[in-house]
Structure 1
């Protein structure tokens, strides 16, 4: 299952790219994520950061500061490796190593768990979108679902099996 998910996430990372991304795009993405979570009665922290500048942040009813910290730690992984946090978690699980062992990165600052995805404009990573509050695979799937809608990509081909 890990290998299948990792292959699918790699495809997601290749196809889910913007032609432009600005504050208005961040607002739309954040609002779409919040709306989906609200409809499903899910509690999330949502964060969209571009070039180190937080453009969207929302802590929904039922979240705690722990969710915000998870979001920060996931974002750090994506900024460091320029891959989704779920892809990195799968990669390290398959290699049977962790971030501290391999790179000296403490778990207090880095979390290779699903929910953070790189925002790319063409081939350049410009930021991150992260959600925290659900099980990691569900966090990842929610981000992918909304990105597919915004970027007019077929969710059937990109959804995790």
Structure 2
């Protein structure tokens, strides 16, 4: 399969993830349980990540495991801004924009200090409402940040991860 076709398939797969990984309700307790689940996966696998779950107006969960730094917090902030602006998984946008510099094209008018074109941000969607916030992970390569969020969401929602996971790159 040609590289362009492979990227198109991955984008379509991420859109299916976004559609499938939808909540019927989401509140502070949901955020804590989901964040704790992702943190436990990270601890079990010895992954150095920071995890943030926020609604558009406030943070509901934050945790960091060994191996993270203040830089991870900044990446989270910038990825969150991207999810908030586009209501889409940041890794999908990485693939759609196809840039190596983690920045949006200048004509988009998105300051690099506030917006990172990097995987690991995923919209929190509630059925009948739409996107209300984001789950963001930082610390791994961007595809793996994305995969960790998807894994946590699939397990939490009781969905089959095998059908949702991105195929190996």
- TM-score normalised by the shorter chain: which range applies? over 0.9
CA RMSD of aligned residues (A): 1.3
Give the aligned partner of residue 107 of structure 1. Answer: 112
Q: Which runs of 5+ in 1 are unaligned?
A: none
User: Structure 2: any 5+ residue segments left out of the alignment?
Assistant: 1-5
1:109-139 deviations in Å (ceiling 9; x for gaps): 1112110100011141111000000000000
1:50-61 equivalent positions in 2, closer than 5 A: 50-61=55-66
Q: Structure 1 residues 153 and 102 mapped into 2: Cα distance closer, same or farther (>3 Å)?
A: farther
Kindly indicate whether the alpha-carbon contact (under 8 Å) linking 1:100 and 1:106 is maintained by their aligned counterparts in 2.
no
Equivalent residue in structure 2 for 1:45, among 40, 43, 50: 50
Corresponding residue number in structure 2 for 1:89: 94
Match of 2:160 in 1: 154
CA–CA separation in structure 2 for the residues paired with 1:24 and 1:157: 27
Out of 24, 27, 30, the residue aligned to residue 22 of structure 1 is 27
Aligned to 2:3: none
Question: Number of paired residues?
Answer: 158
Alignment partner of 1:58: what SS? Answer: strand
SS at match of 2:80: helix
Q: After alignment, is 30-39 or 145-154 more displaced?
A: 145-154
Structure 1's consecutive aligned runs of 4 or more residues displaced over 2 angstroms after TM superposition are: none
Asked if 1 retains the 8 angstrom alpha-carbon contact of 2:34 and 2:152, the reply is yes
Secondary structure at 2:10's aligned position in 1?
helix
| Number of the residue aligned with 1:74 | 79
1:152 Cα deviation (Å)?
A: 1.6
